[in-house]
Amino acid sequence: MIGKGMKMRKVKAITGTGSSGTTFWIEFLAKLGLTELSGVYNDKAKGGYEWILYQSGLEKIKQTPAIFKDPRLFFGDFVKVKCDLENANIEIDFVWICHRNFSQASESRIKRKVDFSAYNNMSGVGADLHEKQVDFFRKGLASTINFLCSNDINFMLVDYERLGDWEYCAQCIRFAGYELTMPFIGKIEDTHKEVYKSEYKNRYKRL
Write down the pLDDT at residue 5.
59
- How does residue 23 score in pLDDT terms, banded at 50, 70 and 90? very high
pLDDT at 202 over 80: no
Residue 146, pLDDT score: 98
pLDDT score at 203? 59
Q: Are 79 and 62 in contact (CB under 8 A)?
A: no
Is residue 39 packed enough to be buried (19+ CB in 10 Å), middle (13-18) or exposed (0-12)?
middle
Q: What percent of the chain has pLDDT over 70?
A: 91
**Per-residue pLDDT reduced to its tens digit, 40-90:** 877 766 778 999 887 788 999 999 999 999 999 999 999 999 999 999 999
Length of the chain (residues): 207
Q: What is the pLDDT of residues 177-190, one digit of tens each?
A: 999 999 999 999 99
Q: Is the per-residue pLDDT at 198 higher than 70?
A: no
DSSP result, 57-106: -HHHHHT--SEEE-GGGGGTTHHHHHHHHHHTTEEEEEEEEEE--HHHHH
Confidence (pLDDT) at 10: 98
pTM value is: 0.92
CB of 156 within 8 A of CB of 96? yes
78-127 per-position pLDDT tens digit: 999 999 999 999 999 999 999 999 999 999 889 888 899 999 999 999 99
